[in-house]
Amino acid sequence: MALAILEGAMVALPRPEALTHITRLRSPAWSILLPGAILLGTFGVLALPPMASALVLLGLIATPLLAFVAALTVVRGNRGRLLLAVVVGTIFAAMSNGWVGELAGNMLTALGCLALGAALVRLIPRRWLPLGVLSMCIVDVMLLALGVGESAGGLLANAAAHFHAPVLTRADAGPISVDYPDLVLAAVLGCTVAGSRMQRGAAWLVTVLAGAYGLLLPAAGALPATVPIALAFVLVRWGPLPQRRRALAPQMP
């Protein structure tokens, strides 16, 4: 349930004007990045196992920097306090073990994913965004069904274990984890509805769907975490309440 709350918070936190200055670079080609991230993180790691260590190292370096970007431009709230939270979180993630370090690492990872999610929402044209979101979910489901997704995840977990540093390529809550691409998808939804009357409702919807979906884990063992986020995206965008969709439409980038 802790990870479901984290994903819901990622939908509730973005401000509507985040990273608007990069919209001049908008192109349908950016939508390939959503399913492409999962494909690269799966088949790239399986084909070149050393790539797992490279991805873990990339997350360790890039995520704190992206977290600073999110604190400055993406997340609602006082920027000074947000920057201080990122600094303190980085210190605790690097120096603390147990639940304190895990919580700090989750915060940094979520903020880093919010920066990427905001960038993708600005770069992908509105009509192409559903294609990217749904194709990412379909790819995730297929790879896990074929067994290759779990194999690649194991390689990444083994690579992370060799680093004497926080793991910033996923969010953890005990034995349960949500990977970076899944959190980016939650950020994409949050930045899509940012500033609309649907934002708070979408945050609650993601929390409920992800929490209920997580109850299936004891029986299933591993599940594609993109499913509840993609379902929430569909319900928000094409839900049964037309007046809410009309209220949302002017706000969506």
Mind listing the pLDDT tens digit for each residue in 97-123?
Answer: 778 888 998 999 999 999 999 999 999
Band of pLDDT at residue 246, cut at 50, 70 and 90: very low
| Rounded Cα gap, residues 73 and 157, in angstroms | 31
Contacts of 236 (CB under 8 A, 6+ apart): 189, 192, 193, 198, 201, 202, 205, 248
Contacts of 97 (CB under 8 A, 6+ apart): none
Contacts of 221 (CB under 8 A, 6+ apart): none
Tell me which of 161 and 57 has the higher pLDDT: 57
- pLDDT per residue over 7-58, tens digit each? 999 999 999 988 988 999 999 999 999 999 888 888 888 888 888 888 888 8
Type of residue at 125: P
Mean pLDDT of 138-158: 81
> Where do we find the tokens 């509105």?
126
Q: Can you give the pTM of this predicted structure?
A: 0.88
Kindly list the domain boundaries of the chain, sorted by start residue.
Answer: 2-251
- E-strand ranges in the chain read 170-173, 176-179
Give, in degrees to the nearest 5, the angle at Cα 194 between 72 and 12. 80
Point out which residues pair with 14 in neighbouring strands: 75
% of the chain beyond a pLDDT of 70:
92
